[in-house]
């Protein structure tokens, strides 16, 4: 369980909140690069950490992220003209560059000192791995931009998608860091004794803190002298890294990959989930067919998303298209799609879970460790200290893995070469 006051610290992310101040010490995804496809194109509405913003790609191809409202009379800049390296408010023509400086004030007398005094709130952005990253914290504490291994893979060997989740980021992230639930929520072959996560539904977890967050290993005894081991990483403050080398049946994937999620708070009660995948090595190039297949497997393929949005067609309004007959005979949930199954459970908990009512067990070690680390980081920011994982170098060479070994073996020796970044 978590004390109500600690739950508030972690789940409230608006300006001036302890949790919000923590997130503002890291670079965060603001949008997919594909959402801003052209120079001087249409501005994009962005809501992040409870702030309403507008993103635009300027004449030089650089992305600006600014306050959604003009500082003159608070007119919406979404309707602004994106022109000549700036966004111009269509109410009175005031124009601002991506640094927030007012570069033109045509409704005022020429040379007015007001132009130098007016500033539009703006946040620095960089593009990495098909994502626009931004930093919303104090400039004197701004770290180097992120440099995750999956970003360094060629565009032909990686894929990123984005989905909207209608709940607080923390319960969504806790689902991603919980390996035990895959034996149940993602049991899509009822009665199949070859499914390795059904052969041992009570994994043993070992958690090791690091300077970027932690890694943990999940051990499942397959009953034949072998163990199935997954090596996860939690990168502060919102990212999961996991192996995707093997299928549930124990067979190696034709296209081995590494993958994970980034849970970005839109506000206190909604989240954007960025889903990334990176080929294990240069021999596993992603094809368009492979990408569509994997996205559909997770329930977020082209046919599963409401056109023009990142919202799933299967959602709370239709009970995620649950099929009770399928639930009785074929799958544990009766819901199609791995991530859709997660969303049904996580969104079904309500906007923000009351964690004071929980009863945690041994399989929740990774969840408990994450909460403690996050609370410590919140306190570090309050105390004026840099929080864990802020340094981009700490997370640059994280590599997860999943594989098989003899029960008595040490995973560090068996998988030592596999968890070294290759890109």
pLDDT tens digits, 347-373: 999 999 999 999 999 999 999 999 999
Among 26-30, 186-190, 219-223, the least confident range: 186-190
Q: If you average pLDDT over residues 37-47, what whole number do you get?
A: 98
> pTM for this structure?
0.95
- For 27-141, CATH number? 2.102.10.10
Q: What is the DSSP string of 283-335?
A: T-PPPHHHHHHHHHHHT-SGGGB-TTSS-BSSSGGGGGG--HHHHHHT-SSS-
What is the C-alpha separation between 354 and 373, in angstroms, rounded?
A: 19
What is the C-alpha separation between 68 and 101, in angstroms, rounded?
A: 15
Q: If you average pLDDT over residues 30-46, what whole number do you get?
A: 98
Among 6-15, 185-194, 366-375, the least confident range: 185-194
pLDDT the model gives residue 137: 97
Average pLDDT of the chain to the nearest whole number: 94
pLDDT the model gives residue 248: 60
Per-residue pLDDT at 194 exceeds 70: no
Model confidence at 189, pLDDT cuts 50, 70, 90, reads confident
CA 159 to chain centre: 14
Q: What is the DSSP letter of 69?
A: B
27-141 and 149-414: identical CATH topology: no
**Tokens 């709940």 found at:** 167
> Whose CA is closest to 260, among 146, 373, 345?
146
Side-chain-side CA neighbours of residue 379 (13 Å): 7
Among 148-157, 185-194, 350-359, the least confident range: 185-194
Per-residue pLDDT at 103 exceeds 70: yes
Write the Ramachandran bin of 205: left for phi over 0, alpha for psi from -120 to 50, otherwise beta: beta
What is the C-alpha separation between 183 and 201, in angstroms, rounded?
A: 6
Query: Is residue 330 within 8 Å of 188, Cβ to Cβ?
Result: yes
Identify the bridge partners of residue 48 per DSSP, sorted by sequence position: 51
Q: What is the DSSP letter of 198?
A: H
Per-residue pLDDT at 247 exceeds 70: no
Per-residue pLDDT at 163 exceeds 80: yes
Helical H runs in 86-128?
Answer: 114-117
Per-residue pLDDT at 251 exceeds 70: no
Torsion of CA 248, 156, 264, 261, to 10 degrees: 10
129 exposed, middle or buried (CB, 10 Å; 0-12, 13-18, 19+)?
buried
H helix count then E strand count, the chain: 11, 19
Give the model confidence (pLDDT) of 49-82 as tens digits: 999 999 999 999 999 999 999 999 999 999 999 9
What is the C-alpha separation between 333 and 343, in angstroms, rounded?
A: 12
Model confidence at 249, pLDDT cuts 50, 70, 90, reads low
Q: Is residue 237 reached through a cis peptide bond, with omega within 30 degrees of 0 on the bond before it?
A: yes
What is the C-alpha separation between 399 and 281, in angstroms, rounded?
A: 12
Edge to edge, what strands does the sheet with 95-96 contain? 81-82, 87-88, 95-96, 102-104
Neighbour count for residue 368 (Cβ, 10 Å): 12
For the chain, what are the domain ranges?
A: 27-141, 149-414
Per-residue pLDDT at 244 exceeds 90: no
Kindly state the tokens that stand for 154: 């060629």
Choose which CATH entry (3.10.20.90, 3.40.50.1580, 3.90.380.10, 3.30.565.10) describes domain 149-414: 3.90.380.10
Per-residue pLDDT at 418 exceeds 90: yes
Among 63-77, 138-152, 171-185, the least confident range: 171-185
Give the model confidence (pLDDT) of 284-303 as tens digits: 889 898 899 889 989 999 99
Q: If you average pLDDT over residues 166-179, what whole number do you get?
A: 96
Percent of the chain whose predicted confidence (pLDDT) is above 70 = 97
| 159 sits in which H/E element | strand 158-165
């Amino acid at each position: 369980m978590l004390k109500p006051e600690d739950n508030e610290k972690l789940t409230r992310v608006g300006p001036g909140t302890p949790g919000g101040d923590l997130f503002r010490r890291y670079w965060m995804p603001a949008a997919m690069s594909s959402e801003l496809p052209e120079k001087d194109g249409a501005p994009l509405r962005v809501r992040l950490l409870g702030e309403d913003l507008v993103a635009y790609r300027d004449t030089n191809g650089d992305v600006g992220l600014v306050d959604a409202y003009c500082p003159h009379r608070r007119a919406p800049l979404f309707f602004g003209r994106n022109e000549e390296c700036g966004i111009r408010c269509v109410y009175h023509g005031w124009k601002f560059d991506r640094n927030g400086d007012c570069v033109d004030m045509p409704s005022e007398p020429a040379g007015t000192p007001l132009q130098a005094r007016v500033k539009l709130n703006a946040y620095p952005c960089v593009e990495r791995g098909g994502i626009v990253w931004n930093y919303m914290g104090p400039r004197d504490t701004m770290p180097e931009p992120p440099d995750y291994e999956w970003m360094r893979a060629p565009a032909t060997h990686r894929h990123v998608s984005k989905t909207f989740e209608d709940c607080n980021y923390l319960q969504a992230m806790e689902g991603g860091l919980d390996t035990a639930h895959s034996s149940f929520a993602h049991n899509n072959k009822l009665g199949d004794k070859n499914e390795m996560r059904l052969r041992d539904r009570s994994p043993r977890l070992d958690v090791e803190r690091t300077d970027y967050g932690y890694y943990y290993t999940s051990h499942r005894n397959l009953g034949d002298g072998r163990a199935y081991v997954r090596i996860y990483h939690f990168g502060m403050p919102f990212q999961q890294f996991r192996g995707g080398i093997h299928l549930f049946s124990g067979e190696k994937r034709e296209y081995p990959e590494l993958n994970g999620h980034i849970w970005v708070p839109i506000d206190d009660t909604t989240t954007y989930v960025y889903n990334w995948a990176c080929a294990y090595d240069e021999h596993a190039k992603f094809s368009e067919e492979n990408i569509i297949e994997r996205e559909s497997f997770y329930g977020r393929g082209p046919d599963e998303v409401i056109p023009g949005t990142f919202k799933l067609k299967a959602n709370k309004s239709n009970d995620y298209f649950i099929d009770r007959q399928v639930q009785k005979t074929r799958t544990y949930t009766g819901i199609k799609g791995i991530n859709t199954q997660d969303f049904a459970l996580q969104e079904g908990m309500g906007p923000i879970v009351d964690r004071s009512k929980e009863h945690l067990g041994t399989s929740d070690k990774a969840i408990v460790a994450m909460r403690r680390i996050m609370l410590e980081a919140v306190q570090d920011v309050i105390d004026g200290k840099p929080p864990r994982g802020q340094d981009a170098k700490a997370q640059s060479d994280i590599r997860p893995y999943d594989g098989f070994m003899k029960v008595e073996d040490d995973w560090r020796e068996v998988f030592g070469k596999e968890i070294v970044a290759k890109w």
